[in-house]
Amino acid sequence: MYHLLSRITRTALSEAAFTRRVRLLPLPVLLIALSYLFPAIPAASASTLSGTVSTQSASTLSGTVSTQSASTTSGNTSTRNDTAYPGSGTSNFRSDPDTLWFLIRVDDIYFRSESYQGMLMPHNFTDFQSAVEQFGARVTWGVIPHRLIEPLNATGHMTRDLRESAARGHEVSVHGYTHICPLNCGESPWGHEMFCPTLNHHFTFEEQSALIGKSMKLLRDSLDIVPTSFIAPGHHLDDTTNEVLVDFDMFAVSNFRHGTDGSYPEKVIPGLVDVPVHGEFTWALTPANYDTELALAIADVKERGEADGYYNLMLHDPFTRPGYYDGLVIDWMTDLLDTLTTYYGDRIRFITLSEAAEMFRETEVAAEDYLADLPDGLVLDQNYPNPFNPVTTIGYALPEPGRVTITVYSALGQEVARLVDGYADAGRHEVHFDASHLSSGVYIYRLQAGNTSADRKLLLVK
C-alpha cells in the first residue's frame, strides 16, 4: 500500500521532478504531500519529520529584498480574511484570489570562495538561472558590487553573466559594497556595512551614502544598470539606511522581520517598501534533508504564500552553483518549481522584487485615494434631473459598508417605491427611479443606513 501511495504522490506532485531522482519518499514527507493534495487527509506535523533541518531554519527567516525593473507588472487592490498565522492582513497582490505571485531571491552574488567542504565550486549562476527559466521564473540577484573589480573577475565572466542575465529579465539588486564590516568587528563574513550589531554601531548618513554611492556607480559603469532595490548585507540596516536608499531613488529594500508582524510588504518610510522573505530551505542543503526541506517548502507556500497572495523564497550563493553536491540545490529548485507549476498551473506568476514593491506602492496609493474619497458621513444627492419625467437618478455615498434602504414616499407619507434594500459597500453609489406609474407631484425620498437617515424632495412633472 505504501509503495502504491508513494507512486501516486510522485505523479501528482510532479512526474518530471521525480524522473531525475527515482526513490521512495520518506513516510512523513509522503503524508505532508498527500495532505496538501487531498486536504481530507491530516498532515503530519513538521516536528515528526526525519532528517536534518537546514542550518538556517526557515521558521526564523523573514526579511526583504528589492530590484530595479518594475514597468512590466501591475496589480489591483483587493481584500482577504485574516488567517491563523501572525502578520496576515489585506493583500494587495490579490488582483485574482487564485493568483500566487512568486519571487526568487539569491543573495551573495558573487561569494568569494570557490570551494566548500572540499567541493570545487567555480563561480557560476547561469545553470541555476537556466533551471528556473524553463518554468518562466526570474531571479533577483543580490550582487556584491566590489566583486566585479576583484581578481576573481579577472576574465570578466561575472560582468558578462550579469549583463546577459539582466537582458533576460532577471534583476540586479545592491547587496552592500564589499560585504565586510568597516569596523573589522570580527564578524566580517556577515558584512555588517550599514549597521554593526556586534558593536552596536550606527554608521552616519554620510558614511552610508558614500558606500551606496560607490555601489551604484560601480554597477552603472560595469553593467549599465541603475538598481532600484537593496538587500541589506549581513541582514542588518537601520533607519538611516532607509533614508539613504530613498535619496538614491531606490524604492524596495530587503530587511528581516522579527516578532509577529508576518511577511507581508509594508511601507517603511514614504517612497520605500519592505518586501520580506518568507523562508529559506537550501542553506547547506544535503542529500539527507533534501526531501524534508522540499516538503516543508511546499507546505509553507501553500499556507503563508496563499494567505499573502505572494511568496518570497530566499537562497544563497554558493549553494546554488553546479559544483555544490553536483547541483543539488539546482535539482531541488527544479523539483519545487515543477511541483508548484503542476499544482497551480497558470495561477502562479513570477515577478522580481522591484516589481513586487511597485505593485504594493501602486495599490497602496489607490487605497489611500479611495479612503480619501470616502465621506465623513451619510451623503444623499439631489436627484438629477429635477423636475423629471419619468426617470431620474439619485446619487448617495456611504462612509462605511452596511445595510441600506432608499424609499420614496408621497406627500402624504405613503411608501410608493423601494429603490434599494440590501448591503452596500462604502463609497459612492447611484440608483435610477422610474416614476412612470405615478402621478405628477412632489415626492420625498429617504436614505437610511443604520441609525442615520437623510431626506430630499423630488418633483415629477408629466
Terminal C-alpha separation, the chain: 81
How much is the average pLDDT of 343-355?
93
Can you give the pLDDT at residue 170?
Answer: 96
* Highest mean pLDDT: which range of 2-11, 54-63, 181-190: 181-190
pLDDT at 272 over 80: yes
* CATH fold of the domain at 51-368: TIM Barrel (3.20.20)
d(CA 1, CA 351): 41
Q: How high is the pLDDT of residue 362? A: 58
Which residues of the chain form CATH 2.60.40.1930? 379-460
Mean pLDDT value across the chain: 78
Considering the chain, tell me which residue range(s) the CATH 3.20.20.370 domain(s) occupy: 51-368
Mean local confidence (pLDDT), 24-48: 43
Residues facing residue 432 across a β-bridge: 393
Q: What percent of the chain has pLDDT above 70?
A: 74
Return the C-alpha cell found at 276.
Answer: 520580506
Q: Is 349 left (phi over 0), alpha (psi -120 to 50) or beta?
A: beta
Residue with cell string 519518499: 25
| Residue 449 cell numbers, joined | 443606513
CA 243 to chain centre: 22
What CATH number was assigned to the domain covering residues 379-460?
2.60.40.1930
Q: Is 302 exposed, middle or buried (0-12, 13-18, 19+ CB in 10 A)?
A: buried
pLDDT digits (tens, 9 = 90+) for 206-261: 999 999 999 999 999 999 999 999 999 888 899 999 999 999 999 988 776 544 44
Pull the grid cell for residue 440: 405628477
Q: Does 80 or 114 have the greater pLDDT score?
A: 114
